[in-house]
Amino acid sequence: MELIALVIGVIFLLVLIIRFKINTFVSLIMTSVLTALLLGMNLTKIMTTIEAGIGSQLGELSLVFGFGAMLGRLVADAGGANVIATTLIDKFGKQRLQVAIMLASFIIGIALFFEVGLVLLIPIVFAIALEANVPILYLGIPMAAALSVTHGFLPPHPAPVAIAAVLKANDGEILLLGLVVAIPAAIIAGPVFTKLARKFAPSAFERKGNLSSLGEVKTIKPEDAPSFGLSVLTSLFPVILMAITTIYKMTVNGGATPTKNATMLDQIVALIGDPAMAMLISLLVAMFTMGWRRNRKTADIMQTLEDAVKSIAMLLLVIGGGGAFKQVLIDGGVGQEVAKIFVNSNMSPLLLGWLVAVVLRVALGSATVAALTAAGIVAPLMAQAGVAPALMVLAIGAGSLAASHVNDAGFWMFKEYFDLSVKQTLSIWTVLETVISVVGIIIVLLLSLVIH
């Protein structure tokens, strides 16, 4: 009965979003209520469960997400993203443009959310492609691959941080192992896949792109932009802080934060490595390096921060709605039911986590919602099998990227920006995301042979 309720809930969610065009957040809450009723939950506890799901999901994540959006907007408005991209291209030369774009996208993508990174980089990619006389997609595919892997595998992005919270995994460990997964996945889904794509979808490489869909793009004079080093330092500051904490824990305390007799240094290092605190410190650094240091007035900087928050308000609510649905599934016993089905299965829990996330991604569209729901379902299995939590986060992250299609906002962004048909977008974007997913789970499974 629990699994039937889950299937009905997913179908109901799809119908609301695709057929009736109901707002995603509203649809998730309606689906949560219906699923809770089908699961036979106590009527007096349904809304309490939904509120708990939203609260637990947005507790830390609202800080990470909000500060991240502010940081990204400050770097963008100062011209830092443009400096990072153009400097790398100058260093690499036109023969290695794909590598330069991918590296720039990877660096920018670590600090920025996928949508923000895409909007920032596309004008740069278009300009470089025209100057170098190469197809827009020749550079667009490596860019999208790099942004996508950071979104799926690396904290402080919402999905990895959110799954880590559900599965009680260490963010720093996820970051280090995530880099091991993300870099090969980006190379295979970027430059390598581009060669194949030109053979089976040659017409897509003739498209000239659609810059009008970007709206107003700020142009910064080179002499007014920050230096390359400062731009990279500001963008990567959260990653640096979390890496310091992780390395300290692994070398001094065996990978854990001591709860008893912790020294002041232990406490300080743990504090600055917390994703929310790392983002807050990094935001303050960005306010100085990309704001006050550039003689921007405080009121102007605050307006930038306010605009950044406005742009992610609905995304925050959608993530909260995903948390509500996840909580209903957990409290309603769906996770235990799935665990019962696979209790005697020989399938790797990591592979199962990936598979559940793939199915939910195809069904729901949102990578974050698919990842959160999958995490809630496989958490009991992970505990039974003794799988490393960080690897399960990466397995689910890989699954949540697979087969992006018409119910995913990223699909339509890629289609509109590159001026492709639906068929061309399916043959490029959908395949690209699936390649990342498959390469990701293969690397995770290989890592599981040495990490337990």
- Going by C-alpha positions, the residue among 155, 162, 215 that lies closest to residue 322 is 162
170, burial (CB in 10 Å: exposed 0-12, middle 13-18, buried 19+): buried
Are 234 and 282 a contacting pair, CB within 8 Å?
A: yes
pTM summary value: 0.68
pLDDT score of 213: 40
For the segment 253-270, what is each residue's pLDDT rounded down to a tens digit?
655 566 667 788 888 888
- Mean pLDDT value of segment 274-294: 90
Instruction: Please tell me the predicted confidence (pLDDT) of residue 131.
Output: 66
Q: What is the pLDDT of residues 14-69, one digit of tens each?
A: 788 778 888 878 988 999 999 999 999 999 999 999 999 888 778 767 887 788 77
Average pLDDT over residues 443-450: 90
Average pLDDT of the residues of the chain: 81
CB burial of residue 39 (10 Å; 0-12, 13-18, 19+): buried
Residue 389: is the preceding peptide bond cis (ω within 30°)? no
Query: For residue 203, what pLDDT band results from cuts at 50, 70 and 90?
Result: confident
Q: Is residue 96 over pLDDT 90?
A: no
With beta carbons less than 8 A apart as the criterion, state whether 85 and 104 touch: yes
Average pLDDT of the segment spanning 171-191: 89
pLDDT, greater one: 227 or 413: 227
DSSP 230-290: HHHHHHHHHHHHHHHHHHHHHHHSTTS--SSS--HHHHHHHHHHSHHHHHHHHHHHHHHHT
Segment 443-452 shows an average pLDDT of 87
Query: Per-residue pLDDT tens for 213-253?
Result: 444 456 667 677 888 889 888 877 887 887 787 678 767 76
Instruction: Please choose, from the candidates 437, 378, 413, the residue with its C-alpha nearest in 3D space to the C-alpha of residue 167.
Output: 378
pLDDT of residue 123: 66
Predicted local distance difference test score (pLDDT) of residue 214 = 41
Angle (nearest 5°) at CA 437 between 135 and 187? 45
Q: Tens digits of per-residue pLDDT, 293-326?
A: 888 899 999 988 888 888 677 778 877 887 788 7
Is the Cβ–Cβ distance between 112 and 241 less than 8 Å? no
pLDDT, residue 113, reads 67
Q: In the predicted model, is pLDDT for residue 168 greater than 90?
A: no
Mean pLDDT over 71-98 rounds to: 78
Do 433 and 401 contact (CB within 8 A), yes or no? yes
CA pair distance 75, 321, nearest whole angstrom = 29
Contact 63, 280 (CB under 8 A): yes
**How far is C-alpha 141 from the geometric centre of its chain's CA atoms?**
17
